[in-house]
């Protein structure tokens, strides 16, 4: 029982100690084996706190293999960020148990969870209950298209505040503000600040963040976890990972 809480507990400890946590997203559809292995190596050595693995669709058939390969070389946690109920593997350390709370698609609010929960239990994964919100960001995101839900307008933080508070009252553990992978604009600082002043849950921010200074601004606005994906798909691991880690870990 103690172990089942350990990944979430560790994340909270990192946030407490370093000010905020830095996650890198690896999409198995977008990276070849040599590229994700090289990126993982940088993640392990240059200050990344956890690696997320997942994809909105998953066209390739490599999900299980990617998780296994990453687990072989990473000491930091590998956490599934599932695009659908097929993305479950007992080789990972935990799974974001996402409810797409900004939408009203019943499958993504609760239905998929009923299908996935027994499998998650059977394979022994730690579920981290996460209120997942899409925030409008200049172009249609894959999640928006795939989930058939509308994002919350970026100039309407009050809508997000009510959603996030309801998620907190329902006992969720994280709030994820998603601008969408490769978003034109990340979630605005003011939006994050408004939410931070209203709820107590740790806030995850991802989508369209391309510079360490931008990541730092998200943290200063109240993000507890910053997720970067597509940037490192293009650049691979390089000194930028270290710069992001320094920008995000403001207490160190």
Query: Among residues 84, 130, 181, 224, which is the contact residue for ligand 1GP, using CB under 6 A?
Result: 181
Shortest approach of ligand 1GP to residue 15 CB, angstroms? 17
Task: Examine residue 192 and tell whether it contacts ligand 1GP (CB under 6 A).
Answer: no
Q: How many residues does the chain have?
A: 252
Q: How far is CA 137 from CA 11, 90, 151, in A?
A: 27, 34, 9
- Distance between CA atoms of residues 152 and 63, nearest Å: 30
- Distance between CA atoms of residues 6 and 231, nearest Å: 29
By the 8 A CB rule, do 79 and 120 touch? no
- The CB-nearest residue to ligand 1GP is 206
Shortest approach of ligand 1GP to residue 130 CB, angstroms? 12
Task: Examine residue 237 and tell whether it contacts ligand 1GP (CB under 6 A).
Answer: no
Residue (of 120, 150, 117) closest to 135 by Cα position = 150
Q: Residues near 48 by Cβ (< 8 Å), separated by ≥ 6?
A: 22, 23, 24, 42, 76, 241, 245
Which residue has 């090289």 as its token pair?
A: 38
Task: Examine residue 227 and tell whether it contacts ligand 1GP (CB under 6 A).
Answer: yes
Shortest approach of ligand 1GP to residue 30 CB, angstroms? 9
Task: Examine residue 208 and tell whether it contacts ligand 1GP (CB under 6 A).
Answer: yes
- Report how many residues bind ligand 1GP under the rule CB under 6 A: 14
Shortest approach of ligand 1GP to residue 228 CB, angstroms? 5
Q: Which of residues 126-155 bind ligand 1GP (CB under 6 A)?
A: none
> In the complex with ligand 1GP, which residue's Cβ is closer, 79 or 227?
227
Judged by CB under 6 A, which stretch of 72-80, 87-95, 223-231, 238-246 contacts ligand 1GP?
223-231
Task: Examine residue 194 and tell whether it contacts ligand 1GP (CB under 6 A).
Answer: no
- Report the sign of the C-alpha dihedral through residues 75, 9, 1, 124, in that order: negative
- Token pair recorded at residue 79: 């956490």
- Distance between CA atoms of residues 49 and 62, nearest Å: 23
Interface residues with ligand 1GP (CB under 6 A)?
25, 178, 181-183, 206-209, 227-231
């Amino acid at each position: 029982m103690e172990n089942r809480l350990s990944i979430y507990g560790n994340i909270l400890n990192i946030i407490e100690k370093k000010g905020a946590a830095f996650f890198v997203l690896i999409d198995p559809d977008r990276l070849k084996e040599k590229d994700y292995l090289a990126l993982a190596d940088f993640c392990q050595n240059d200050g990344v706190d956890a690696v997320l693995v997942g994809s909105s669709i998953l066209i390739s058939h490599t999900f299980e293999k990617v998780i296994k390969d990453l687990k072989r070389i990473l000491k930091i946690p590998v956490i599934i960020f599932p695009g659908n109920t097929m993305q479950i593997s007992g080789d990972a350390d935990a799974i974001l148990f996402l409810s797409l709370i900004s939408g009203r698609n019943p499958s993504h609010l609760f239905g998929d969870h009923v299908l996935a929960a027994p499998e998650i239990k059977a394979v022994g994964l730690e579920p981290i209950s996460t209120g997942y919100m899409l925030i409008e960001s200049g172009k249609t995101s894959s999640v928006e298209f795939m989930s058939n839900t509308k994002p919350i307008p970026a100039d309407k933080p009050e809508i997000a505040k009510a959603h996030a508070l309801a998620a907190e009252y329902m006992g969720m553990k994280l709030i994820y503000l998603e601008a969408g992978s490769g978003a034109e604009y990340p979630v605005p600082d003011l939006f994050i600040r408004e939410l931070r002043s209203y709820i107590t849950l740790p806030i995850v921010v991802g989508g369209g963040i391309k510079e360490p200074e931008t990541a730092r601004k998200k943290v200063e606005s109240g993000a507890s976890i910053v997720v970067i994906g597509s940037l490192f798909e293009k650049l691979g691991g390089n000194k930028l990972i270290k710069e992001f880690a320094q920008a995000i870990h403001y207490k160190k």
